[in-house]
Amino acid sequence: MAVRRVRRVIRKVDPWTVLKVSIVLNAIGALVFVLGVWVMWSLAIQRGIPEKLTDFFANFSLVFDANGELYFRAVVFLAIVSFTALTGVFTLGAVLYNLISDVVGGVELIVLEETYLVPPGRPAPVRPAVHGATNGGNGPSGDTKTEPVAAVD
């Protein structure tokens, strides 16, 4: 397998495409974050961790209220804010990249491209010249012709 070095330059990133992809990825990330916190809170409730924390903080005269609904609302709010902010930052980053790459020339990548060696094709054999009887140069019988023959593999 032959390897060939190829130089590629990324000069433009489409902001609309970045916006669509970042919306999908950030929505998935926000959903995973909310579900992960929900699962962890459910496990903590089953183990009795919030009650233990309340008792621990009561020893120091500190107030801790294990209000799961309030915490869940805060987690959903943080997920929405991070979703919106990250989508905006990614799209703005694509626009800024395009502006900067116009000045600098883009990002240059050197890629190794693997190619399989393909044996060169055989040229079609050529029929030998056909010499016909001459009739004084009048007509086709006095011409010399060469015609390619189709290759049969």
What does the pLDDT look like over 55-95, one tens digit per residue? 887 777 777 677 778 889 999 999 999 999 999 999 999 99
Burial 79-100 (b: 16+ CB within 10 A, else e): beeebeebbeebbeebeebeee
Crossing angle (nearest 10°) for helices 68-104 and 15-47:
150
Q: What is the mean pLDDT of residues 97-124?
A: 83
Residue 106 CA to residue 125 CA, distance in Å, equals: 49
* Between 23 and 153, residue with greater pLDDT: 23
β-strands 107-115, 144-145: how paired? unpaired
Give me the percent of the chain exceeding a pLDDT of 70. Answer: 78
Mean pLDDT of 146-151: 58
All structural domains of the chain with their residue ranges = 14-93
